[in-house]
Every structure is written in structure tokens, then in C-alpha cells.
Structure 1
Amino acid sequence: MSIYKRVMGKDFYRLHPMLQKRYEIQRGMPFTGTGMMESIKGGPKWLFPLFWTGVKFKLLFPEHGENIPFKIVNTPETGRNGEEQIRWERTFYFGTKKRYFNALMSLDSERNIIKDYLGEPRLFYSDLSLDVTAERALKITSKRQRLVLGRLEIPLPTLFQGLATVTEKYVEEKDAYSIHVIVRNPLIGTLFSYEGEFTADDIS
């Protein structure tokens, strides 16, 4: 049983059937998809040094634009402690440049949340909550965050957090998944966002 099904319980079955297939990610059942991001936007220009730092960690990037080719790979792995993990590799193709927004997720069964370590190597941590919308879409929301410095994890005050909201749904008319991601800071506003569509390479 996937970590997403376990954390959502009965709500998992309220998702569109193709989203259930999409998130039934477990050993031997990776997910890959390709598509196009209709729009990718960044925050204010004075934050570009932060975005360039993010490039080194495969987390953020300064480029933005429209109709950007996209690939997503979700790979099940086993951590050193035997913990089931899902590696998220999101690649954006700006001409000859590749930019990434990567993460490693696992389940905290005691708190019933998804643990999300962002960047390679890890730079930020977020608690994630998963909910089902009235349209049978999946809504993922980040909660408490920490800055990760090696083995040290420092809780971030709210004003320094980049809180993400991800909405993913299945569009039957197009036989495709629609994705909208927005990362906001309470003080600055939108730091990063992208939206578009992708199709599965390996499920039907």
C-alpha cells in the first residue's frame, strides 16, 4: 500500500480513479509522465540570488516562461532505516537548460502526515497534508517547515516560510493530469508557481 493511500485512508477512494492509479506508488510501481507547463512564474527579482542557490540544490530556479516542456518521475525507494520513500524528480526544459524541483517523501505514521524533504542535498523540510476536493482532485498543502543544515534542522518562523499548495486533477476530456503549484511567503507573496498538464507514460 502506498504512503499516500495510508495517510489518506478512506478519502483516497474519493479521488478520481486515475489519480488513485497515479498515487498508487510503491515498490515496483514507479510513475513517469511528460507534458507542458503552460506557465512558470517566479518571485521578485531581488530574490534571484536565492533562486540561483536553489539551482545548486535542484530546488528553485530563476527562469520563467510559457509552454515549458516538463517531465516527472516518482520512484519508490527504501531508506537506510527501512523506511518507504518516494523520490520526486520534476524536470523543466528551458531550451538546453534543465531545471529541477526535487523532493523525497515518506510517511510519519504517528502524526499521519507526509514528510517532505526538499532539494538534493536536502535544504528544507515540510509537513504535508493531503485532501480531496469536490472535483475529486488532490490538494497537497505544506505546513510546518524547517531549514536543513546537514543533520541540523532549524524550525522556520512563519515569516520565513515558503508554503506550497499543490492541486492535481485528472481531465478526462484530454486524458491528462492537470497540475497547479504555488509557493507563497506570508510577507512577500508568491515566490514560485507553475501550472500545466502531463500524461502518464506507464499507466492507463
Structure 2
Amino acid sequence: MTRSPYELSAPAEVLARLHPRLCTYFGAVPPGHVDRGEGVFAVVGTPRRWLWPLLALFARDGVVFPVWERDVPFTVENRPARVRRGAADGREARPAVRAHRTFRFRSGDRTMVDAITAEPEGLVDHLGRRGRVSALLRTEVDADGPDAGALRLVSTRVTFRALGRGWGLPVVVAPRVTLVERFDDDADVQRVSLVLAAPLVGTLYRYEGAFRYAVVPDDAAGAAPGGGTTWSSSNRGS
């Protein structure tokens, strides 16, 4: 992968405002390498237990989890991949970055999986092992202010795949994903915050924490790194 999905989808003038340390994280993963990080989430999940049965449905696919815990150790691995958006329509596999975030919950380890691709309509995050939930993302980087140099991704459309096709949710009811990644020079850590919210209901799920990472040789390179994932043609990201 010579350019990452972020570099392929976001305007160059936006990415030019990124903190230098974030440029590496959101740039292309060098061939034969993988990004690995380790840190602690200050909080994960939601204290609204009435939402847990719904979250449990998405937990099966590695999207979100029915928990509310503090000080959760985690690891993250970003690996280059190619994602084919439907074998039947003849589309070529698109460059992607597949992420595995493993949370060390008190009840046991759980892994969140997603894949980022650059689509004609923009940056798309395919959530879960089967990519049944997709979010079209707007990329923002402030030049000034407290979040200067941070990357902010805001969903503008969310699609669920069900009954053999993709269903785009109306804006008035669609959940909104906001992800902020910034680099803390004083602490020498990367800080991440994700909030999933819905109109009228408010915050459905969130996590926030800090980690350090490095680009390292991929010790699994001989075992089909990243995979050649193929999803059904009905799973059109947005």
C-alpha cells in the first residue's frame, strides 16, 4: 500500500495540518510491517444498562460491547489489507487498514474489529468482522485551538446490512460516531476518544484513553497479512 485510505480520501491541505506523529499513524503501513500499540482506556462502554441487550447483539460481531469499565488495558494492531466490496459486481479489492483493538475487560478479553477504506464517496469505516455496519466519515483537522493537529472523524451517514441489502438510516434517527485522535507532546502518548450518540437519547457508547505505538516488522507476514476479505455485494458502505 503506497497511500493509506486516509491519504486517498482526505484533501491534502487537511492532512497537512496533522501533528507530525499522527502523520505516521494515519499514513501507509510499510510493506512487511504492522502498527502495534498498547495503552489504557480510562472508560469503555456505557453506564446505561438498559442499552446492554442491544449492545450485546453487536458484540457478537466485534463492534461494541455491553460493559461499563474504567482503567481497561488494551492493545491495537493496524494491518494493511484489501477489501473487496462484493464479488458479484466485479469491483476490485480496495486498499484498507484493518484494526484489531483488544480490550482486557475484567470478564475476559474482547476484540473490536473494523476496516477503513477509501471509497468514491469518501472515507468509510466498516465495523465488525463481517462489516455489516458502515459509516461514511468526514475528516477534519483544526489548524488552531486546543485540538490543533488532531484528527477528527465524524460520521455523516450510517448503513446497516440486513435482508440482503444495505439500509441507510435517516439523519433524524441515525447514530453519530465522533472519533478524535491527538498527540500529547507532554506525556508522549497518543490520545483517542470515541463517542457513539443518537438523537434524543444522547451517548450510547464511548471509550477514551491513551497509548504508545510503533511500526514493527510483521511477524505474521507469511500468513496472508490483512487478508483478502470479500463481503457480499449488498454490503455497500453507505
Q: TM-score, normalised by structure 1?
A: 0.91
| Structure 1 counterpart of 2:15 | 12
5+ unaligned residues in a row in structure 2: which ranges?
A: 85-91, 217-238
Letter in 1 for 2:99: W
Is 1:118–2:121 an aligned residue pair? no
CA contact (8 A) 2:138 2:155 kept: yes
CA contact (8 A) 1:38 1:195 kept: yes
| Structure 1 counterpart of 2:234 | none
CA RMSD of aligned residues (A): 1.8
Letter in 1 for 2:141: V
Moved over 6 A (4+): none
Residue deviations 1:137-188, cap 9 Å, x none?
A: 0001111111112751011123442211111101111211011111100121
Sort the Cα spacing of 1:43 and 1:65 in 2 relative to 1 into closer, same or farther, 3 A. Answer: closer
| Structure 1 counterpart of 2:101 | 90
1:20 to partner: Cα distance: 0.1
Sort the Cα spacing of 1:64 and 1:43 in 2 relative to 1 into closer, same or farther, 3 A. Answer: closer
Task: Provide the C-alpha distance between the structure 2 equivalents of 1:58 and 1:85, rounded to a whole number of angstroms.
Answer: 18
Sort the Cα spacing of 1:75 and 1:150 in 2 relative to 1 into closer, same or farther, 3 A. Answer: farther
Q: Which residue among 73, 76, 81 is the counterpart of 1:77? A: 81
Q: Which moved more, 1:17-26 or 1:150-159?
A: 150-159
Q: Which secondary structure state, in structure 2, belongs to the residue aligned with residue 25 of structure 1?
A: coil
1:18 to partner: Cα distance: 0.2
1:43 to partner: Cα distance: 5.6
Sort the Cα spacing of 1:91 and 1:102 in 2 relative to 1 into closer, same or farther, 3 A. Answer: same
5+ unaligned residues in a row in structure 1: which ranges?
A: none
Task: Provide the C-alpha distance between the structure 1 equivalents of 2:73 and 2:49, rounded to a whole number of angstroms.
Answer: 23
| Structure 2 counterpart of 1:166 | 179
Provide the identity percentage. 24
| Structure 1 counterpart of 2:232 | none
| Structure 2 counterpart of 1:47 | 51
Aligned residue pair count: 201
Q: Which moved more, 1:89-98 or 1:69-78?
A: 89-98
| Structure 2 counterpart of 1:195 | 208
Task: Provide the C-alpha distance between the structure 1 equivalents of 2:131 and 2:18, rounded to a whole number of angstroms.
Answer: 30
CA contact (8 A) 1:25 1:74 kept: no
| Structure 2 counterpart of 1:103 | 114
Q: TM-score, normalised by structure 2?
A: 0.78
1:99 to partner: Cα distance: 2.1
Higher helix share: 1
Task: Provide the C-alpha distance between the structure 2 equivalents of 1:137 and 1:198, rounded to a whole number of angstroms.
Answer: 15
CA contact (8 A) 1:27 1:77 kept: no
Q: Mark the structure with the bigger radius of gyration.
A: 2
